[in-house]
Structure 1
Amino acid sequence: FASVHDVFKRNEEQLNAGQDGVEISRTLMRQMVNSMSTKLEIGSPMASLYLLGNPDHYKSHTYVNFAWRSYVAYHATSKPARNAIQCVSDFDDLLTIRNHNGSFVACSIVDNYRYRPVAYETVTLYEWVQSSDIKARTKGEKADFLSWLETNDALLLEKKGRRRNYRIIRHSFLPEHLAMYKSHSVHCDFRKLGATIPNFLGGALPRSDKGDRDYYCMSM
């Protein structure tokens, strides 16, 4: 902003002289770009993008965060793998606390995949991370779902769902997922598979040629 202010300050006479608006605008823009390029040590194209409100980069892929250690830790504690358990014993899983019928329930990102809808039971973990879209039900959607639980009228629920959204069919988690069964729904958009890349968080992945071989095999 200081650079822009200085440019206007230097050209006060031209601005007040009533010169051609297009010409003075071009002059001011050119001076702003040159000033920002010098003071901020950035290229003129970058300064132009900033002044025009355009993004400074373009990307062909989207990245989604993937806390892979949470899944490995769950697998290690549920299987008799002593070495693997030792490797992940110092890792704390990230939990979300939710209210379920007046009681607090701990919810992990691992549970979202463990209790995924039956329609997605063949979806791999990698594909789940790429394509899953979890959303909280609206007040109307939650009322429809609770009515369906009482009447078990699948056709009624399907008709209401179609009336609300003609393009996307969202599914419920399994009943075992207490924290999100009634309150959330999920949809997997498999069109994202080619342009979505998981961003592995939690440190480097184990290697096959170094470290604990059992831990590597379990992680893979």
Structure 2
Amino acid sequence: MYLLDNPDHYTSHKFRPFHWSSYVTEAQKAWNTEQKEDNKVVLIKKNGRIFGLSQVYDYIYRPSELENMSLYDWIRRCERVKILKNNKNPKPKKNSEILINNEAEDHESEFDYDYEGEIEMNADENKFELEPDTALAYKNISTDASLPAPAHDKSLSKNLFPFIYGHPLADSHAIALSTEEKGLVPNFIGPGLPRRDKGDYEYYCMTMLVFFKPWRSGIDLKEADESWNTSFINYRFTQRNCDVMNNFQLRYECLDSRDDFRA
């Protein structure tokens, strides 16, 4: 099948890579100024300036229309796309997973986070530069006049929404929102998710809040005099959120049972 350019496997769902630890690290920066671990970004040159570009930025600078969307739903339903210059004759896209109400829209998929502009990397092009403190950058975005202005709502199709000011690609890219029925399944990539019944419970609470409570900075996730545990207890998770968290735990319980059986 593979040699005939046909799929070599079939699934009932479609999946999207989710490097979850990068988002947790970003949220944690707002509260731990001594944290040494940094996310990594691609360096791009645009309008004579060098900017860092990261998947985390897409959520932090998400459209104001999606202010109340959690990170988990963001991964499932949102995709960054390039705004086409020619907006006159949009053509339908076959089997599109990002169109709303089955309408044809004029954008190109860029889920791989490639940038089709002038890109400049460091001397070793296989390496990325460490990103700046995005939490602090978010607080001061209004002071940097070099950042591009977001695209106008009127120039975008119905299913496209502009980034807020501060995103390096705000003038050339937008967010496409899929319907709930077309939502993808996050494929968690990176270290194992924290457990509810073992390990650092504060870290578990923080991670679940990062996933299911809308935020732009880690400051949005809890009060200054509040523990992650307290914030976790006080936040009203939806039933769907609770089901997903229970599924996380159920997987670990299954692995424990497997190990006990083999012992």
TM-score, length basis structure 1: 0.57
How many Å apart are 1:161 and its aligned residue?
4.1
Whole-angstrom distance in 2 between the partners of 1:197 and 1:77: 27
**Residue 183 (structure 1) aligned to one of 169, 172, 175:** 172
How many Å apart are 1:175 and its aligned residue?
1.0
Partner AA of 2:175 in structure 1: V
Which residue is 2:23 aligned to? 71
**Is the contact between residue 173 and residue 181 of structure 1 (CA under 8 Å) also seen in structure 2?**
yes
Whole-angstrom distance in 1 between the partners of 2:161 and 2:63: 6
Structure 1: 5+ residue runs without aligned partners? Answer: 1-48, 142-148, 163-167
RMSD in angstroms over aligned alpha carbons?
Answer: 2.8
Partner AA of 1:185 in structure 2: A
Which residue is 1:133 aligned to? 79
- 1:60 and 2:12 aligned: yes
1:121/1:51 Cα in 2 relative to 1: closer, same or farther (>3 Å)? closer
Which residue is 1:171 aligned to? 161
Which residue is 2:62 aligned to? 116
Q: Deviations over 1:111-155 (max 9, x none)?
A: 1101101111111111110111211222346xxxxxxx7xx9x6x
Of all paired residues, the percent bearing the same amino acid is: 34
1:175/1:51 Cα in 2 relative to 1: closer, same or farther (>3 Å)? closer
Whole-angstrom distance in 1 between the partners of 2:2 and 2:202: 51
Whole-angstrom distance in 1 between the partners of 2:199 and 2:49: 42
- 1:96 and 2:42 aligned: yes
TM-score, length basis structure 2: 0.49
1:134/1:209 Cα in 2 relative to 1: closer, same or farther (>3 Å)? same
Greater helix proportion: 1
Q: Deviations over 1:152-208 (max 9, x none)?
A: 9x6xx63x545xxxxx5311100121x1111111111023555x2101111101112
How many Å apart are 1:96 and its aligned residue?
1.9
**Is the contact between residue 127 and residue 193 of structure 1 (CA under 8 Å) also seen in structure 2?**
no
Whole-angstrom distance in 2 between the partners of 1:64 and 1:74: 20
Larger radius of gyration: 1
Q: Which has the higher contact order (CA 8 A, sep 6+)?
A: 2
1:54/1:79 Cα in 2 relative to 1: closer, same or farther (>3 Å)? same
